[in-house]
Structure 1
Amino acid sequence: MTRAKQKDKAAIPQEDAFRGFDALMATADVDSQIASLAESGADEETLNRELTRALRLAQDRWGLGLLHLRHEAAVVRAENGTPDVSLRVDGAEVSRVSEGAAALAARYTSMQAPNAEGLSEWGVLPEGHRVTLKGGTGQLRVLVEDARDFETHWAAERGGVWTRTWRQGDTLAVEVHRPASAATALSDAAWDVITSIRDRNFQRELMERSNSVGLLGALLGARRSGAGDALSQLPSAHFTVSSAVVRESGRDARSLDRWKAMLREGTEGLDEMQRAATRRLADVLSHGLR
C-alpha cells in the first residue's frame, strides 16, 4: 500500500495530526504545543520551525544515537487539504504522524548501530574526531580548553550511566545516557502500579501471573479485552527517555568547571525525566486504557 493511500485511509482531521505529534513529543518530556499553535492560526513556516525544534529536542532525549543526522518535521497536505506531519532525516521523509509511532520507531531502528551495552556506535561528528578518555580530567581539560573539534567515546559513570562529550565549532555538548527501552519503561511502570494495589490478594495474584507473562502482561491481562492493543497504539509503547544533552557556547564552552556542571545537570535532568516518564506510564496503565 502506498503512503498516500495510507494517509487517505487515516483521513485524520487537522487537530488529530498535530495532537498526535504533541503526544509523540511527550514521550521525550518535550512540552510541544503544536495543536494549540495551529488552532491559533499560525502559518506553516511558524509551525514547521516549531515542529523541527521539538523533534530535535526529542532526539536529544530519546537517545537513539542519531544525532549525527539532520532531523526536521514539516506540515504536509493531501490533495483534499488534510494535514499531516512529515518526519525527515537528512531531507528525506522517513515517516508521517498518521502512520503511527510503531512505524516511526521501526524506521529509526533501521538507522541505529547499538553495541552490546546498547550504546550507539555512531559518532556525532565525522570520522577522525573521536578519542578514548584514559581516566582523570587532565586529558579532558586539554580537549575542552582547546579550540578544535573533538568527540569522546562513551565513558561509564555511576548508576548505570554513560557519558560522551563533543565540541563542534563554538558549542560544547555533553550527552548523559542510561539505556532504557520503551518495553523496560513500561515494565517499570507496571511494577509501580502493581505494588500500589491495596488488594493484597489481587496483588499477589498479579505477581504470580507475572512469572509467566511478565509484569506488563500480568497487568494488561487483568484489564479489559483489547487493552494490549490499545497500549500498542500509544507513542509511549515505542519511545521513552534515555538521554539528556546539555550544550554550552561562548567562553564557558572552554571551561572544565562548566563541563563538570554540565555533567551534573545532564545526570540530574535524566534522572528526573526518567522518573517522570515512569509516573506518566503508570498513570496510563492505571487509567488510560479504558
Structure 2
Amino acid sequence: MSNKLMGLARLCRPANLPTAAADIFAGIAISCFFSGIASVDFFLVDTGTIALLVFASVFLYAGGVVLNDVFDAKLDAVERPERPIPSGVVSVKEAAILGIVLLLLGCLFANWVSDMSASIAIILAATIYIYDVIAKSHAFFGPLVMGLCRGLNLLLGISILGELPIVWITIIPVLYIFAITLISRGEVHGDNKKHIALAAVVYAVVIGLIATGIAIHSTNLPIAAPFLVLFAFMIYRPLFKAYTDNSPEHIKKAVMAGVISLIVMDACWAVGFSNWYIGLGVLLLLPLSLMLSKLFAVT
C-alpha cells in the first residue's frame, strides 16, 4: 500500500505544486492593486476564499500532470521506465481516475469562489486536457498550449474578486512556459542547443516585460529589482550549463530550475503590485518546492 500511495504522489509532482499556489498569490496581489484594495488586508481577512482558489489551482495542476503520464504511458515505458505507471506501481486506470477526479475537484473549488473563477477553471481544465491528448506532440502548438495553461492559472488568481481588472500580464507566463517546454525537448536525447538559445532570448523578453509592467503601473520597481535579479540568476545559470554541456542531465536541471523559478517570478509580481513582505511570503514557497524536489521528480 505504501508503494501505491508513493506512486500516486509521484504522479502528482509534489515539488511543482507550490508553483501553482504561487500563481494564485501573485494573481491576488495584482487583482487587489488594480481594484484599489490593500493586498495585506485581503490576505489577512479573506483566508477562506484564498484557500479555495489555492486548492483549485493545485488540484488542476496535479490532475494535469497525472493525465499527462496516463497518455504518455507507452512512451514512458521506453524512455522513462522508472515512472509509476510503466514500472507497474500504478495502473493506467487508477491514474486516469485520479487525474479526472483532481480536475473535477479543481473546478468545484473554483466554483465556490465565483462564477468567473469557475469559468476560468473549466477553460483551464479543458486546455490541460487538450495539451495532454493532442498538443504536446506538436513542436510549436505544444509549448504554446502548455504556456496558456500557466497564463490561465495566473488569471484564476486575478479572478478572485469576480472581475478581471487586467489581462495582458497573463501573456508573460505563456512566453515563459513556452521557453521551458522548448528546453525540455532535449531531456531524453540532448542535442537541443538551438532551442536553448531561443529560450534564453525568450527569458530576456519575459524579464523585460515583468520590469516594464511593474514600472508602468506602480512605483515598486526598485523594491522588485532584487527579486528580478534572483529570478534571472536562477534561470540563466543552469541554462548556460545546459548550453555548454548539452547533455540530458544538464538539460533536465535547466528545466527543473525553470519550473521551480516560477515561484520567484510570482514573487516579482507580488512585490511589484503590493509590498515587499507579500513578495517575500510568496518566495517562502521556494524552499518548500526545493525540498520536495529532493524527494520527487519535477519533470
Q: Where on the TM-score scale, by shorter chain, does this alignment land: which range?
A: 0.3 to 0.5
Q: Which has the higher contact order (CA 8 A, sep 6+)?
A: 2
User: Which structure: greater helix fraction?
Assistant: 2
Structure of greater Rg? 1
User: Which structure: greater strand fraction?
Assistant: 1
TM-score norm. by structure 2 comes to 0.33
